[in-house]
Chains A and B, each alone.
Chain A
Amino acid sequence: MTERPPRAAPSRGTVRGVRSTDWSHLLDVLRERRRGIAAAVVLGVVWTGGKIAVPSLTRVAIDRSLETGSTAVGWALWIVAAGVVTGLLTAGRRYLAFRESRTVEARLRRRIHDHVLGLHMGFHDRSQTGQLMSRMSADLNQVQMFVVMVPLTVSHVALIAGVTVVLLVTDPLLALVALIPLPLITMVAKRFSDAIHPAVLAVQSEQAQLSSVVEESISGVRVVKGFGAEQVRLDAVAVEADDIQRVSLDAARVRARFLPLMELLPGLGLIGVLGIGGLRVLDGAMSVGELVAYNFYVTLLVWPLRSISMTLAFGQRAAAALERIDEVLSVAPAIVAPSEPAQLQASGGGLKVELADVHFAYGDATVLHGIDLTIDAGTSVALVGGTAAGKSTVARLLLRFYDPTAGSVRLGGIDLRDLDPDDVRRNVQMVFEDTLLFHDTVAANIAFARPDASPADITAAAAAAGADFIDDLPEGFDTVLGERGYSLSGGQRQRIAIARVLLADPAVLILDDATSAVDPAKEHEIRSAMATAMVGRTTIVIAHRPGTIAMADRVVLLDGGCIAAVGTHDELLRTEPRYRAVLADDDGAR
């Protein structure tokens, strides 16, 4: 199976003018919340009834008091009653609308988060943290604002429909005049939404780019400070900030072109009613009260029409946001469990690891050219090779972070593709070359792969990894580490990472340059613990120090993505010049 083309890669400048919004994710979530949303819509529609009642009551009040010369107090009381009802309904509708929209937002956020967390490495290699963060914040925000408007908009549409009916019943001809703007507004609205879509997409994409630059600058602040590169990063942020300003002005120009039309077209109806209705009153075909009510109704249309134009604008932003969210959600995980995964036979003595004619390319660049390697259960191998030889790539294939482009990787005799990736990873554990700790206690970090481990186990693993410094930390194992473990020294972090895998007790253990920042004295100490840990499991060490390499039963020399030689350390040292070169053995440092 090959890498799926990274359609989701939210690369710089993902601005696509074409509209292909997939609303299905939103619809799914909306469906889950249909009760609340329906309730909000119902309240909104009833509220519309209240709103329509007010001008009707006003009309009756005016006509009656002009006819009979009585005061309008009685009618006014009715209006107050209508006010109480609409007040309550507004509160209810608003509450429901916000509750549902916030819930929808939260659910979508969880959905994106959960999806992304399960995606293959090929996706993560290409995506930017800041971009993904922006999907889960800024973009969702747009969706939320749109969902809030849904019940309100439905009730506004109902209002427009209700008013239309009332107008038509009262006076069909005048109604036609009053409603002339409606089709015009619809036309303008259509054109508006076509024009604003790319502009809005551009704004959101620029915001996400800013978020990426900021994220990197803050995460990499130690380097920025070390080189005094604050100005460079500030310039980068300024570029993005300018971009945001520019595209957002473009969007504003589009709005300026269409929104005023949509807001003012209802005025045409008012003018028509005044002119034609006025003439009809003069002709005696209509009462003054009727004309006023007519006017009132048409006025009632103004705000809903305006707010619909606003909803359209929000809808466009939400559509743009959903499109960007969809780019992420529609990435199918490339590494998945088969429908009927094979079962690993966990024996006490580790698992056999085989690579059979494995080829691998990250995108176009082929990195491994046919690796054949069998590591028997319970034995150990040191992978040695120059910088960029492909050592870590081999390790990643064993974890099934990627699938090989050709050939197969087998664990316990079973092709990894026939196994559940979780099962693979429970059995194959690796210390990564760059250690990453979480913002949590030392104990939780060590127990990361085995959250149910007892404190005694955790302490034992820490001791085996030579992490004795933990006792000196202010709160021992309960000390909360800074973000990414930055409150520990480099070697201390690596030892926590080693303790983590030792505790996980995997059948296959991979150490990718796991002691590069550990001082030699300490490494020497850890080594005896490692030797114990290697008993009864298959071990792959990637290392550069002869002492560590020599712990392994065999040494495999990788060169340019091929296996150049296999043998013991001493053999290779004697026979293989390339091996001597990698270890700089001519250096005479011994």
Chain B
Amino acid sequence: MWGGAGVAAEDRLDAAETRHVLRRAARLARDQRSTMLATVGFIAMATATTVTGPLLVRHGIDAGIRANDRGALGVAVVGYVAVVLIAWFGARRQYVMVNIAGEGFLRSLRLRLFAHIQRQSLGFFDRHQAGVLISRMTADIESMSELVQWGLLQFVSAGILLSVAVVVLTVMSWQLTLVALCVLPVVIVASVRFQRDSNRAYLRVRDRVGRNLSMIQEHLAGVRVIQASVRTAEQRRRFADNNDELLDAHMTTVRISTWYFGVVEFCGVLATALGLAAGGWLVQTGRVSVGTVVAAILLLASLFEPVQQLSQLYNTVQSATASLRKMFDILDTEPEIDEIPGAVDLPRSGDLVVDGVGFTYPQTTARVLHDADLHIVDGERIALVGATGAGKSTLAKLVARLYDPDPDTGSISFGGVDLRRATLASLRERIVVVPQEGFLFNGTVADNLRLARPSATDDDVWAALRSIGVAERFAAMPEGIHTEVRERGSRLSAGERQLVSLARAALVDPAVLVLDEATSNLDPGTEAEVERALERLMEARTVVVVAHRLSTVRRADRIVVCEGGRIVEVGSHDDLVGRIDGRYARLAQAWEANTNTSAG
């Protein structure tokens, strides 16, 4: 399981794990394989100049200058020009190709990750802060785009450069090469130690980035409350602390990598010195020519930068691995609510049966529903009433399988099919819940309605608004249903927001419609209008309404009273209201009192 908060011991990335993560990433990038191959080809072409250059210089010196042959010198010069032109062509292509491959990979990673996050059940979202999940989709992936854009290019070109240079060096003079490459073990040892220390540091960075974004998100979402409570200064101070922690995490990685780059740089120069010393001796003893030594030293000098680049890149790879690891953690989290193999479609209609269901929210211990039994016949209208916190919304969410009942308890079925055995597509089509917290997305009113049915035309949208009796209201807006509602619908009043989220339900044609206080922010006048209009919508389907208003409740066929997570009374208004000391009777009294002007 994925531990969102805190860097747990499991957050260590050892070498084997790094390899595993990278291998898995490579598998994900399979689609890009041919593009990548082509890319490598072009990079190789572009890299050619750096390698062939010194060789041509050697030719110029040995065959031209020292042999006093102007022709050979000319050949070297012309050859050099040709090589540069080829490299130029390769370099042009490489930039485009590497982008196609890399961004293609990131795109598929984005979509995969997002689709997977969305498949998770609500329990997952209760556990994880939105900001952290967002950081996985944004900051983490962007941190990889660095690798993809420059890293891949540098990696391949430096790799090619290094290996070709080593081969050329060896061919020119294996003795020289052997001496110069004495520094290699030092580089390897340094790299291994560096990797060991840095992976943990990078995981901590990813973690802190997530927390930082979470706080930013919370502050932006809550800015009204923060300002109204005059908490701006205090929240700024808290953010400063959070931000310092992120800085601290970054600084740890900086400290770890500092010495490493010093060592690598030193090794580069050391190789030149060794080459020179050995070369001098080899020339004296007549084993190699001066030109060879010169070319070798030039090559060693040009090796020196790629080695640096590679070690820089190592940093990027480490940080990308940490990002990938965090993403794989999500991809590995199986949704708690998922389709079982061999799931069946729910029938078009049927009874909704809640049978002995108990429920505990994930990661809590207290059961909030106990042994709930309820048989709702097809087409019936049920009102759920009860005190706040009684479990009404919870029951509503279970009926739509946003959560599953506790395993050792009963089941919920529709038309005789246990919801856990149903296909998710048919489930979402048959049972629709308008949650207590309406949520509007950026976009127009129409876009927001279409969330429920993407294929709906403007006419369908108007029809849906008419069916809840509020079309004129939106027609009166300057741009009608094409009015931008802005983030969270901030352009609309609370009541208008609720109307939009209610109208969504009118756009779909579910067998079971669950309305969780879908009209609580409307004035009673509008509410009555909406309810009159809804009558038609509610015909011929099963409706479960959670409501705090007598007018709504009275119209239900049966009323279900919840208390402390139990269903305590079931019956029609007339049945229940007359019960001496009944719970519903008491509730009804409270309602009366509420409507009674002399109360308070």
Q: Judge whether A264 and B84 touch: CB under 8 Å.
A: yes
Residue A374 is within 8 A (CB to CB) of chain B in the complex = no
Residue B193 is within 8 A (CB to CB) of chain A in the complex = no
In the assembled complex, which residues on chain B have CB atoms less than 8 Å from the CB atom of A62? 276, 290, 293-294
Say which residue of A117, A124, A234 sits within 8 Å of B236 (CB atoms). Answer: A117
Most buried by A among B305, B365, B389: B389
Q: Judge whether A221 and B523 touch: CB under 8 Å.
A: no
Q: Judge whether A448 and B231 touch: CB under 8 Å.
A: yes
- Mask, A390-401, CB within 8 Å of B = 1, is 001000000101
Q: Judge whether B99 and A249 touch: CB under 8 Å.
A: yes
Q: A296-B298, A449-B230 are in contact. Are A82 and B65 (CB under 8 A)?
A: no
Q: Judge whether B266 and A87 touch: CB under 8 Å.
A: yes
Q: Judge whether B281 and A71 touch: CB under 8 Å.
A: yes
- Mask, B408-436, CB within 8 Å of A = 1, is 00000000000000001101110011111
Q: Considering the chains assembled together, what is the distance between the CA atoms of A434 and B255 in angstroms? A: 46
Residue B273 is within 8 A (CB to CB) of chain A in the complex = yes
Chain A residues 237 to 283 lying within 8 A of chain B, measured CB to CB, are: 237-238, 241-242, 244-245, 248-249, 251-253, 255-257, 259-261, 263-264, 267-268, 270-271, 274-275, 278-279, 281-282
Q: Considering the chains assembled together, what is the distance between the CA atoms of A116 and B77 in angstroms? A: 60
Q: Judge whether B454 and A137 touch: CB under 8 Å.
A: no
Q: A274-B77, A387-B495 are in contact. Are A86 and B269 (CB under 8 A)?
A: yes
Q: Judge whether B269 and A222 touch: CB under 8 Å.
A: no
In the assembled complex, which residues on chain A have CB atoms less than 8 Å from the CB atom of B263? 87
Chain B residues 217 to 244 lying within 8 A of chain A, measured CB to CB, are: 217-232, 234-236, 239-240, 243-244
Residue A348 is within 8 A (CB to CB) of chain B in the complex = no
Residue B533 is within 8 A (CB to CB) of chain A in the complex = no
Q: Judge whether A451 and B234 touch: CB under 8 Å.
A: yes
Residue B117 is within 8 A (CB to CB) of chain A in the complex = yes
Residue B167 is within 8 A (CB to CB) of chain A in the complex = no
Q: Judge whether B254 and A99 touch: CB under 8 Å.
A: yes
Minimum C-beta distance from A140 to chain B (A): 10
Residue B598 is within 8 A (CB to CB) of chain A in the complex = yes
Residue A554 is within 8 A (CB to CB) of chain B in the complex = no
Say which residue of B93, B250, B439, B440 sits within 8 Å of A256 (CB atoms). Answer: B93
Q: Judge whether B302 and A299 touch: CB under 8 Å.
A: yes
Q: Considering the chains assembled together, what is the distance between the CA atoms of A514 and B95 in angstroms? A: 58
- Mask, A292-313, CB within 8 Å of B = 1, is 1001100110110000001000
Chain A residues 68 to 97 lying within 8 A of chain B, measured CB to CB, are: 69-73, 75-77, 79-80, 82-84, 86-88, 90-92, 94-95
Residue A25 is within 8 A (CB to CB) of chain B in the complex = no
- Mask, B51-90, CB within 8 Å of A = 1, is 0010011001100111010100110110011001001100
In the assembled complex, which residues on chain A have CB atoms less than 8 Å from the CB atom of B486? 125-126
In the assembled complex, which residues on chain B have CB atoms less than 8 Å from the CB atom of A153? none
- Mask, B13-48, CB within 8 Å of A = 1, is 000000000000000000000000000000000100
Q: A271-B80, A438-B218, A484-B221 are in contact. Are A426 and B272 (CB under 8 A)?
A: no
Q: Judge whether A482 and B126 touch: CB under 8 Å.
A: yes
Q: A91-B261, A222-B437 are in contact. Are A211 and B134 (CB under 8 A)?
A: yes
Q: Which of A32-40, A106-114, A185-193 contacts the other chain?
A: A106-114
Minimum C-beta distance from A451 to chain B (A): 6
Residue B494 is within 8 A (CB to CB) of chain A in the complex = yes
Q: Judge whether B517 and A220 touch: CB under 8 Å.
A: no
In the assembled complex, which residues on chain B have CB atoms less than 8 Å from the CB atom of A483? 129-130, 218
Q: Judge whether A83 and B268 touch: CB under 8 Å.
A: yes
Q: Considering the chains assembled together, what is the distance between the CA atoms of A106 and B209 in angstroms? A: 11
Q: Judge whether A218 and B134 touch: CB under 8 Å.
A: yes
In the assembled complex, which residues on chain B have CB atoms less than 8 Å from the CB atom of A569? 597
Q: A86-B269, A90-B262 are in contact. Are A521 and B228 (CB under 8 A)?
A: no
Q: Judge whether B91 and A519 touch: CB under 8 Å.
A: no
Q: Judge whether B224 and A432 touch: CB under 8 Å.
A: yes
Minimum C-beta distance from A390 to chain B (A): 8
Chain A residues 524 to 554 lying within 8 A of chain B, measured CB to CB, are: 524, 527-528, 530-531, 544-548, 550-551
Q: Judge whether A492 and B96 touch: CB under 8 Å.
A: no
Q: Judge whether B269 and A87 touch: CB under 8 Å.
A: yes
Q: Considering the chains assembled together, what is the distance between the CA atoms of A271 and B454 in angstroms? A: 63
Q: Considering the chains assembled together, what is the distance between the CA atoms of A260 and B47 in angstroms? A: 11
Say which residue of A110, A469, A587 sits within 8 Å of B528 (CB atoms). Answer: A587
Say which residue of A103, A117, A486, A520 sits within 8 Å of B126 (CB atoms). Answer: A486
In the assembled complex, which residues on chain A have CB atoms less than 8 Å from the CB atom of B424? 228
Which residue on chain B has the smallest CB distance to residue A257? Answer: B92
Say which residue of A79, A215, A248, A421 sits within 8 Å of B276 (CB atoms). Answer: A79
Residue A388 is within 8 A (CB to CB) of chain B in the complex = yes
Q: Judge whether A547 and B276 touch: CB under 8 Å.
A: no
Residue B592 is within 8 A (CB to CB) of chain A in the complex = yes
Q: Judge whether B125 and A218 touch: CB under 8 Å.
A: yes
Q: Judge whether A237 and B442 touch: CB under 8 Å.
A: no
Q: Judge whether A387 and B232 touch: CB under 8 Å.
A: no
Residue A412 is within 8 A (CB to CB) of chain B in the complex = no
Q: Judge whether B487 and A128 touch: CB under 8 Å.
A: yes
Which residue on chain A has the smallest CB distance to residue B526? Answer: A387
Q: Judge whether B73 and A94 touch: CB under 8 Å.
A: no
Q: Judge whether A292 and B294 touch: CB under 8 Å.
A: yes
Q: Judge whether A234 and B218 touch: CB under 8 Å.
A: no
Q: Judge whether A218 and B548 touch: CB under 8 Å.
A: no
Residue B110 is within 8 A (CB to CB) of chain A in the complex = yes
Q: Judge whether A106 and B243 touch: CB under 8 Å.
A: yes
Q: Judge whether A392 and B494 touch: CB under 8 Å.
A: yes
Most buried by A among B365, B394, B442: B442
Q: Judge whether B49 and A264 touch: CB under 8 Å.
A: yes
Which residue on chain A has the smallest CB distance to residue B100? Answer: A249
In the assembled complex, which residues on chain A have CB atoms less than 8 Å from the CB atom of B126? 482, 486-487
Say which residue of B107, B223, B261 sits within 8 Å of A242 (CB atoms). Answer: B107
Q: Considering the chains assembled together, what is the distance between the CA atoms of A259 and B266 in angstroms? A: 29
Which residue on chain A has the smallest CB distance to residue B401? Answer: A225
Q: Judge whether B114 and A214 touch: CB under 8 Å.
A: yes
Say which residue of A71, A87, A234, A264 sits within 8 Å of B118 (CB atoms). Answer: A234
Q: A230-B118, A252-B95 are in contact. Are A210 and B138 (CB under 8 A)?
A: yes
Q: Judge whether B220 and A116 touch: CB under 8 Å.
A: yes
Say which residue of B115, B366, B548 sits within 8 Å of A519 (CB atoms). Answer: B548
Q: Judge whether B229 and A449 touch: CB under 8 Å.
A: yes
Say which residue of A98, A211, A270, A300 sits within 8 Å of B53 (CB atoms). Answer: A270
Q: Considering the chains assembled together, what is the distance between the CA atoms of A216 and B440 in angstroms? A: 9
Say which residue of B111, B259, B392, B587 sits within 8 Å of A237 (CB atoms). Answer: B111
Q: Judge whether A72 and B280 touch: CB under 8 Å.
A: yes
In the assembled complex, which residues on chain A have CB atoms less than 8 Å from the CB atom of B436? 490, 517
Q: Which of B339-347, B374-382, B496-504 contacts the other chain?
A: B496-504
In the assembled complex, which residues on chain A have CB atoms less than 8 Å from the CB atom of B137? 210-211, 214
Minimum C-beta distance from B498 to chain A (A): 8
Q: Considering the chains assembled together, what is the distance between the CA atoms of A334 and B587 in angstroms? A: 48
Residue B525 is within 8 A (CB to CB) of chain A in the complex = yes
Q: Considering the chains assembled together, what is the distance between the CA atoms of A523 and B590 in angstroms? A: 9
In the assembled complex, which residues on chain A have CB atoms less than 8 Å from the CB atom of B551? 584, 587, 589
Q: Judge whether B77 and A545 touch: CB under 8 Å.
A: no
Most buried by B among A80, A127, A548: A80
Most buried by A among B107, B276, B388, B526: B388
Residue A513 is within 8 A (CB to CB) of chain B in the complex = yes
Minimum C-beta distance from A511 to chain B (A): 13
Chain B residues 543 to 600 lying within 8 A of chain A, measured CB to CB, are: 548, 550-551, 554, 586-587, 590-600
Q: Judge whether B600 and A215 touch: CB under 8 Å.
A: no
Q: Considering the chains assembled together, what is the distance between the CA atoms of A244 and B138 in angstroms? A: 12
Residue A489 is within 8 A (CB to CB) of chain B in the complex = yes
Q: Judge whether A584 and B265 touch: CB under 8 Å.
A: no
In the assembled complex, which residues on chain B have CB atoms less than 8 Å from the CB atom of A210? 110, 137-138
Say which residue of B56, B104, B595 sits within 8 Å of A589 (CB atoms). Answer: B595
Mind listing 17 A-B residue pairs with CB under 8 Å?
A61-B276, A76-B280, A98-B250, A113-B216, A126-B486, A219-B221, A222-B437, A225-B402, A229-B454, A249-B100, A267-B80, A271-B81, A281-B65, A433-B521, A439-B214, A583-B525, A584-B523
Given contacts A220-B440, A469-B388, 13 further A-B contacts (CB under 8 A): A91-B265, A110-B240, A114-B239, A121-B224, A124-B223, A237-B114, A248-B99, A278-B76, A448-B231, A490-B436, A490-B517, A546-B596, A548-B594
